[in-house]
Amino acid sequence: MGKDEIGLLRAYAKLKTGLKVWSHHPSSGLPRGSTGAAPRQQAGECVLAIGRTEQTLMAFLFSVSVPAAWLYPFGTKEGDQECVQRTVDFNSPLFKPEIGFPFGNSLQDALYFTDNGQIIFPPTDNYVPSNPNPPPQGFSGQEGLPMVAAFWDDADFSRGVGTTWYQEYSTLSSIRDPLVHDVEAKIKKYLKIPYVAKWTLKVTWEKAPAYPSQRNDTQTSTYQAVLTTDGNRSFTLLLYQDGGMRWDYTKLAADNVLIGFSSGNGCAQNNELTQKPAAVKYRPDQHSSAGTDVRGLWIYRLDSRSRVNYRLQCLAWLDAEPSPAAWNARLPPCPCSWPQAELDPRFRHSAGPADASMRMLRTASPSPAGAGVRCLYRDGSLLEGWQERAWSLPIHPATDGELEAFDWCCQRIGKPLFCARFAEKRPRVGCEGYVPPTPAGAFGDPHITTMDGLTYTFNGLGDFALLLARDAQTSFVLHGRTARTGMAQATNFVAFAAQYISTTTTTVEWTLGSQGDIQVLLNHETVQFSYSQDMGAQVYYSPGVLLVNASSVMAVFDGAIAISISAASRILSVVCSLPDQYRNSTKGLLGVWDHDPADDFQMPNGTSIPVNSSEEEIYSYGLTWAVGGHSLFTQPLDLPAMNFTPIFLSRLRQEDESQYQLAASQCCGSKACIYDSLSTGDMALGLATQSFTADFQQKKTVLNAFPPVITGDPSLTAFRTERVRRQYRAVGLGAHFVPHLSPELNISESGTLTWEPHGTAPLTINLEAVGSNNLSALLQLHFTLCSCSRIQECDYSNTVTVGGSSLQLAACRCEGSYSGPFCQDPLDPCAQGCFPGVHCDSLAGCGPCPSGLTGDGQHCSGDKGLPWPLGHPWDPPRVLLPVPCCIASADIDECAQGAACPGNTTCTNTVGSYACSCPAGEQGEGPGCGSACESRSCPTGYCSNGGHCRLHPITCTPSCTCPPAFTDQRCLVAGGDFRPLPSAGLPRRSVGLRVRMLRNATAEEVNGTVSAILGSLEVKAFQCNSNITQMTDGYGYTFAVVSEFAYDSRGTVIQFLNEELPGAITSAFNRHWGQREAGTHLLFQCLHRDNITDLVKLTVAELRHYFPCNLYGYKGYQLHYVGTAGFVCISPCKKGYCQHGGQCQHLPEGPTCSCLPFSVFSPAGARCEQLAISFTAFLSILLVILALLCLSLALVCLASHLCRQQRRQHQGARDTFWMPQPFSCEYIPATPPHTSSASPQSSLTSDHLPHSSSDNGRRARRSHPLSLRGKTLGTAAPAYLSLSPDEDPETPHQASEPAPPAALACH
């Protein structure tokens, strides 16, 4: 401790001693124990309050013993951004932490700070007021604007002194800034809360001057606020620079500085210094909070309840997820329809949404990168699909991480931006490029269908290679084992084995059990299936393969190759499907997969036999694929196949034709069914084979049936009631759209969509198209509606989802002085607040400053006008001592010194400043006061309906400033929104209070106390108290009071009075519990919620009757209740009053429509609702129709004329040809194919005329060309040739060798 400090301590000790002596001196004229002031001051001397000196010395002693907290480094070198405007008030830009900011019991979206030491959380981006005047009573918790007050008082940066700095720290990832580390450490140290920050904001007010500031002002304050949150909890650290809080509070017009916070929903805290004298509360750097060991640091927790922050969970998930390019290779698209999906073995069922119309599929196995695909179907149609990186095991019922992330980002938050970011990490999948699997199989007494669809029967006995496939990275082998079918000379499959080789080798065996069941081995070990709740089946998963035991036992290798084995009639059947990567790379009994069945009978040596080979040749081909000693089966064959020859279908037919015909009739011609029934003697087995064959073919048909494809943009955007029309197309056989009809949205069968929004109710519509195969396709439509007052205010990049539907509301960027969710609220002069004690008019704004102060009513300065010297009557008693070196200050008259007021304005001196004003009746927009228009004035009645007229200062042209309801320049045409005024009979909101005082009191005292408390509520709606009645009980002096509050049209007031009033009253009373209210001497007990009774409370529906929209006498306005805006009168012109493009104007008699013709139509009617074809268009259409009729008639006449001319020419040719001429003819019969061409010619006699054969009654009719001297003349009358009984016209050789025609030789 230095000499100066020791000297101050000694002076303090002497001062205390002097005070004690003075307090006992009998001639002092003061009461005993008082430290009062000297009765009179000497000239030229200043006075100093000993009480204040004592506080200063005590503060010094405290500062010596307790260290000061350091501000965090700030400024450009620390990466901070500077924010300053040289105006009396300014705000920072909006900060929007992605995870939100928990405050009270709400999650706030945005915040900003002001020059006046506030950090404010606005309800919308369009409402950013800055009130420089803190409430004298402090925070109540029910403020309209949630805020943190770091040092809330009227600051003034307009004179070039001071600035503000800020910096955001987003720490969602593991990277931590040293500042964030220190913030976390302080919270853990002082609040005992382990904490890891996810978002932090540092704001620094450097050398902030008090209002009104002066150039080179040195009495400034420097302090910081740090806001931090982990998404669930939030804190603020308030730091004050040691020795840097230097405002001269003795010169402030009001010393109501406020430190603390209010969430606006019941959570608030006022700093303990708030109720201290000005000398204390304006020096927070010299004091410490409870629980800290440093001065100038306060830490508050701002959230009031635990919550699940889905934004945080979504963002943390997004931050941890890699780019899809790292894992989504080789992922398939979704099947285009649910029937396809059910039959595609690459996908499996998964427990989906609770909606019964929704079904979900997932890929059966993960890709090599461990990823998969999820597909969602509604009523059989693909709705959407997306890729998923974390394919989860179907046998574990644990939470589905992929679905959880989708729920967080796309369902819970309600902000489409988060869902769009989710889609970046999980790309959407449709069915574009989907190729259904190509199944191949073997069933019955083995009937095999190759990959290319060739069907044949092979009854080999032993182990055979059904399929061998290979690509650059993998290989696949499928073996089948057959045994004799009972005692028949036929075989069937009894076991299969598949081996898949990639990075590992996986072998699966299926064996027919003794009970007709299927035994499964995986890598030669028995498989123990477990029930999967997700799939609803018995499953087993091992890396690389998924086994599903349902109606069949299926193995899916790497999500690509699927082998399904089923058992029936003690016979195993197999269905196999491969991915496209194996095309042109297969061989075996299932053929060469190249879409060409001609080479499917390829043998291991590469040679092939024709597809129409005999049964014996096919059997020999099949034997070439015998496995021999390289079988995949764990158990070897029981008996080797020795000299086994199956019986063939041709031999079975030869042995018993009648039995063959009987089997054929029962099998409907199916050769596989006929063979199985004849070879085994079991017709049931044959019919089972037939059923399997039909089912196999039916599944192939379903797999290759596709729904229509819908083309068109699924996103639609509309402004207010704008009509939007969009044309969609459906591509597919017989495709058409399913019509939809509703008041807002219509869809025609041809795909024309019309959307005309009438409100903001949730809207979800899917466009559906149906093909001739009854398969349908869906297109999810996304609607974005802007309800802003003006179209240029729409921000379509910032939207919110309405009720989880497909409708999104665009945000509004208000222009001019409008605010509110839809920019519907005009400038409110009272939004910025007024100086304490100054009344605010909703039109004129703040009234004049209190007596003795100067300013605009919002900012006031000068002597506080208090009768007590140097402070307030509640300051501690003090002793005034002479200080000889102090000089009294005098006001400077700036007007006398030639202060520059522009133009013809008048300079008026004020205390500490000066003001410039215009002469009465003149206004100016620039420098001066209407100097160019001195001899002119606005025309009488130029502005109607309360509009204010003013002259342009240069051109002198009149213009009107109209009330918000009017949209034209003369205030004649209404149409704008406005707030309705309440009718005279509006009831007041009334509550009954039971207030208990600590002593007896009069009704006037109770009224004053209760009125003071209720008047301090944040929403200024209190009117008066009535029916104050004293009730004597055992708890003291109880008074029943009826308190009345006034409703108005604002939604915040209605919400407050109907929902929040009892809680606000309770908080207000309990905040002042045990304290004396200003102007009274009453102390009251704590007020409980059950001491408040609702007497009169009107619902929104009831209030509607008291807010008529009859302002200015304009009819037709409609009353709407819009969120926080409250009751608003909206013109029907803004709600689509005029139809068919009519232009709407709101005149005194109501909305009127000007109908405008469009296309060929002329709208008519009061609302242009009637459509008629215009007369000009009608004449044009009529002329076109007549022209078409004339053209058609001309074409008919021309065609008729040409036909008659052609007929006459043809008739003339016939007459010339058949003209009688002398000539003779002889008949030359046709030469049968088996006779010699040298046969003698016969003359035309009756023997060669047509005759019939009695043996078979068959005839042949032939046309013979006429020959004139060896030249063909034409076709003569037909000659009828009788066929011999042994000639069969249906025999192949006769059909291929037609008889030459007979001829007539004419001479």
**What pLDDT sits at residue 559?**
79
Work out the pLDDT band at 396, boundaries 50, 70, 90. low
Three-state DSSP class for residue 1042? strand
What are 67-125's pLDDT values in tens digits?
999 999 999 999 999 999 999 999 999 999 999 999 998 999 999 999 999 999 998 88
Model pLDDT for residues 330-375, shown as the tens digit of each residue? 889 999 999 999 999 888 888 777 677 789 998 888 887 888 899 9
**Among 43, 36, 39, CA closest to 19:** 36
| Number of residues that this document lists for the chain | 1307
Q: Which residues contact 1254 (CB under 8 A, 6 or more apart)?
A: none
Q: Is 538's pLDDT higher than 70? A: yes
Average pLDDT over residues 262-282: 91
What is the pLDDT at residue 806? 92
- pLDDT value at position 893? 60
Q: Are 97 and 105 in contact (CB under 8 A)?
A: no
Tens of pLDDT, residues 437-460: 889 999 888 999 999 999 999 999
If you average pLDDT over residues 613-620, what whole number do you get?
Answer: 93
Per residue in 564-602, pLDDT (tens digit) is 999 988 899 999 999 888 999 999 999 999 999 999 999
What distances in angstroms separate CA 1238 from CA 277, 1226, 1280, 1281, one per listed residue? 146, 17, 22, 20
> Which stretches does DSSP call E strand in 911-977?
913-917, 948-951, 958-961
How far is it, in rounded angstroms, from Cα 1119 to Cα 1252? 101
- 874 pLDDT band, cuts 50/70/90, is very low
| Most confident option among 16-20, 735-739, 795-799, 1107-1111 | 735-739
Note the pLDDT tens digit of each residue in 1081-1103. Answer: 566 777 888 889 999 999 999 99
- Strand 347-350 to 234-245 pairing: unpaired
User: What's the pLDDT score for residue 933?
Assistant: 61
Write 17-26 long-range contacts (CB < 8 A, 24+). Answer: 19/50, 19/879, 22/879
Distance in angstroms between the alpha carbons of the first and the last residue of the chain: 158
For the segment 1007-1029, the average pLDDT, to the nearest whole number, is 89
Q: Specify the pLDDT at position 865.
A: 38
Q: Please report which confidence band the pLDDT of residue 53 belongs to, taking 50, 70 and 90 as the band edges.
A: very low
Q: What is the DSSP letter of 1189?
A: H
pLDDT at 919 over 60: no
The pTM for the full model equals 0.58
Q: How many CB atoms lie within 10 A of CB 1226?
A: 15
The least confident of 11-25, 63-77, 272-286, 641-655 is 11-25
Phi, psi of 243, deg, nearest 5: 75, 5
- Across the range 1140-1154, mean pLDDT stands at 82
pLDDT mean across residues, the chain: 80
- Cα three-residue angle 1107-1108-1112, rounded to 5 degrees: 125
Q: Per-residue pLDDT averaged across 160-184, rounded?
A: 90
Enter the tokens of residue 284.
């927070």
What is the structure's pLDDT at 305? 79
Q: φ and ψ at 104, to 5 degrees?
A: 65, -130
Give residue 1300's identity as a one-letter amino acid code: P
How far apart (Å, rounded) are the C-alpha atoms in residues 750 and 114?
A: 57
CB 102 within 8 A of CB 303: yes
Q: How far is CA 1034 from CA 106, 166, 1219, in A?
A: 41, 57, 145
**Most trustworthy range by pLDDT among 297-301, 392-396, 928-932:** 297-301
If DSSP states are collapsed to H, E and C, what string results for 673-706? HHHHHHHHCCHHHHHHHHHHHHHHHHHHHHHCCC
Q: What is the pLDDT of residues 654-685, one digit of tens each?
A: 888 999 999 999 898 888 899 989 988 889 88
Instruction: Specify the range with the lowest mean pLDDT, choosing from 446-460, 602-616, 825-839, 904-918.
Output: 904-918
305/105 Cα distance (integer angstroms)? 6
- Give me the pLDDT at residue 165, please: 97
**pLDDT of amino acid 30:** 33
- In the three-class reduction of DSSP (H, G, I as helix; E, B as strand; rest coil), residue 916 is classed as strand
DSSP 500-568: EESSSEEEEEEEE-TTS-EEEEETTEE---EEETTTTEEEEEETTEEEEESSSEEEEETTTEEEEEEEE
Element (H, E) at 359: strand 358-363
pLDDT (tens digit, 9 = 90+) per residue, 1222-1260? 544 444 554 444 443 334 343 333 344 344 344 444 443
Rounded to the nearest 10 degrees, what angle do helices 683-703 and 657-666 cross at? Answer: 40
Please compute the mean of the pLDDT values over residues 804-833 and round it to a whole number.
Answer: 84
User: Strands 989-997 and 1036-1045: what pairing?
Assistant: antiparallel
Bigger pLDDT: 1053 or 1134? 1053
User: Model confidence over 177-209: pLDDT tens digits?
Assistant: 899 999 999 999 999 999 999 999 999 999 999
The alpha-carbon radius of gyration of the chain (Å, integer) is 49
pLDDT tops 60 at residue 1214: no
**What pLDDT does residue 1069 have?**
84
Q: Lowest mean pLDDT of 4-13, 54-63, 1281-1290, name the range.
A: 1281-1290
Distance between CA 8 and CA 61 in Å, rounded? 10
Q: Is the peptide bond before 212 cis (omega within 30 degrees of 0)?
A: yes
